[in-house]
């Protein structure tokens, strides 16, 4: 078990493409961190740099106290679980697990002991002598996991390990992974583009976009307090709109918006006068239309979808026809299109995002 500390890592490929821009990431020993982002955001590059398959253009990678930046992968105390599993097709499950132990020249009894423990950890004792082709996708995934665990690495690197499993299995393996991590105590760096996976598993989520970390923090924190439109939109669903800060008293701000004048409660001050704001569809409360109080507005419904546990409602504010709003009502029936509903948002549930950048004159998109 060791902390991992990535500092100012940049990566430029031979063809000139810059995949990472001075990225810094750190995980405490035994922590589970996730690199989350759309494809091409650099998360896999970052993982491969930590594994040692790539060499960074700039920056350092530390494992515990040791600078491992220049070490080849075979000398690093990390083990990777590949998206494709990368099982050796000509070896049995046991052969795959044993491969790395043989490379380390561990004494035979120790090898056998570790094989048994790893197989037991992923409940694959019955499949030990099968080759990868004879195993199901889920079983292959477990062999890949067991192979990494048997190395007793300080850090396990996961490259979208669940993306080839079906939805049900994926949910199950999520819990098992967390349990294994607690049992074996390794530090985990987990790459995924699936926000639900990231939120469900991680201690800390690093959200990446275009080779940069755009926000990081515990899952609740970045879900509740996104700092940009990208984060708000990538993690869950958000109503994003433009606003202008009119006044404030303490942490209470008054903002003009397409929904009329809104009160916003925020301990983070707005980054500019003109800026983006957002709120989550599930934070809207239905109110009686007469009240007309704080942060209330009327919504003309254009479409609604009943999803069982909630109802997804799309519409626009009655005095802003070109703004589309999405509201998720819990334990509510269908809402007929054409009707008007009245909703309210708690000031504490509205977030300031980044400033609106006015396009320079003479430059068109």
Q: How far is the CB of 9 from another protein (least distance, A)?
A: 9
Q: How far is the CB of 201 from another protein (least distance, A)?
A: 22
Residue count of the chain = 365
How many whole angstroms separate alpha carbon 22 and alpha carbon 15? 19
What number of other Cβ atoms are within 10 A of residue 136's Cβ? 11
For the beta sheet containing 310-317, the strands, ordered from the edge strand earlier in sequence to the opposite edge, are 284-287, 340-345, 296-306, 310-317, 325-330
**78 vs 239, beta carbon nearer another protein:** 78
Binding site for another protein (CB under 8 A): 7-8, 13-15, 17, 19, 40, 42, 44-45, 51-53, 55-60, 67, 69-70, 72-75, 78-80, 82-92, 95, 98-100, 102-104, 147, 151
Q: Sign of torsion, CA 144 146 149 150? A: negative
**80 vs 262, beta carbon nearer another protein:** 80
Six token digits for residue 146: 């067991």
Q: How far is the CB of 64 from another protein (least distance, A)?
A: 16
**52 vs 317, beta carbon nearer another protein:** 52
SS3 103: helix
157 contacts 77 by C-beta, under 8 angstroms = no
Q: How far is the CB of 76 from another protein (least distance, A)?
A: 8
First to last CA, the chain: 50
SS3 69: coil
Q: How far is the CB of 121 from another protein (least distance, A)?
A: 17
Q: How far is the CB of 80 from another protein (least distance, A)?
A: 5
**17 vs 175, beta carbon nearer another protein:** 17
- Angle at 34 (CA atoms; ends 169, 164), nearest 5 degrees: 30
**90 vs 168, beta carbon nearer another protein:** 90
What number of other Cβ atoms are within 10 A of residue 319's Cβ? 11
How many whole angstroms separate alpha carbon 314 and alpha carbon 326? 5
Q: How far is the CB of 269 from another protein (least distance, A)?
A: 32
**35 vs 222, beta carbon nearer another protein:** 35
CA 338 to chain centre: 37
């Amino acid at each position: 078990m060791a902390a991992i500390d990535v500092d100012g890592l940049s990566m430029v490929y031979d063809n000139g493409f810059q995949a990472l821009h001075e990225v810094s990431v750190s995980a405490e020993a035994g922590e589970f961190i996730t690199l989350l982002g759309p494809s091409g955001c650099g998360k896999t590059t970052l993982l491969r740099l930590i594994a040692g398959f790539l060499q960074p253009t700039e920056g350092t990678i530390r494992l515990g106290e040791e600078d491992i930046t220049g070490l080849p992968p075979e000398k690093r105390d990390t083990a990777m679980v590949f998206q494709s599993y990368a099982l050796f097709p000509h070896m049995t499950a046991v052969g795959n697990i044993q491969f790395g132990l043989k490379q380390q020249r561990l004494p035979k009894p120790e090898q056998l002991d570790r094989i048994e423990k790893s197989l037991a950890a992923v409940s694959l004792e019955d499949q030990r002598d099968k080759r990868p082709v004879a195993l199901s996708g889920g079983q292959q995934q477990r062999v890949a996991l067991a192979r990494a665990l048997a190395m007793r690495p300080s850090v396990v690197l996961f490259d979208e390990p669940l993306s080839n499993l079906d939805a049900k299995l994926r949910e199950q393996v999520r819990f098992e992974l967390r349990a294994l991590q607690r049992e074996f105590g390794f530090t985990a760096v987990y790459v995924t583009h699936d926000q639900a996976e990231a939120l469900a598993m991680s201690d800390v989520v690093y959200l990446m976009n275009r080779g940069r970390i755009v926000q990081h923090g515990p899952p609740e924190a970045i879900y509740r307090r996104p700092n940009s439109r990208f984060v708000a939109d990538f993690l869950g669903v958000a109503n994003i709109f433009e606003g202008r800060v009119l006044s404030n008293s303490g942490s209470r701000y008054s903002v003009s918006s397409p929904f009329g004048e809104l009160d916003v409660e925020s301990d983070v001050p707005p980054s500019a006068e003109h800026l983006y704001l957002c709120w989550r569809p599930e934070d809207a409360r239905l109110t009686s239309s007469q009240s007309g109080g704080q942060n209330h507005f009327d919504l003309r419904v254009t479409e609604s979808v009943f999803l069982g546990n909630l109802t997804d409602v799309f519409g626009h504010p009655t005095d802003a026809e070109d703004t589309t709003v999405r509201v998720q009502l819990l334990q509510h029936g269908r809402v007929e299109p054409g009707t008007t509903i009245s909703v309210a948002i708690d000031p504490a549930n509205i977030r300031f995002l980044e400033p609106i950048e006015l396009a320079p004159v003479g430059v068109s998109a």
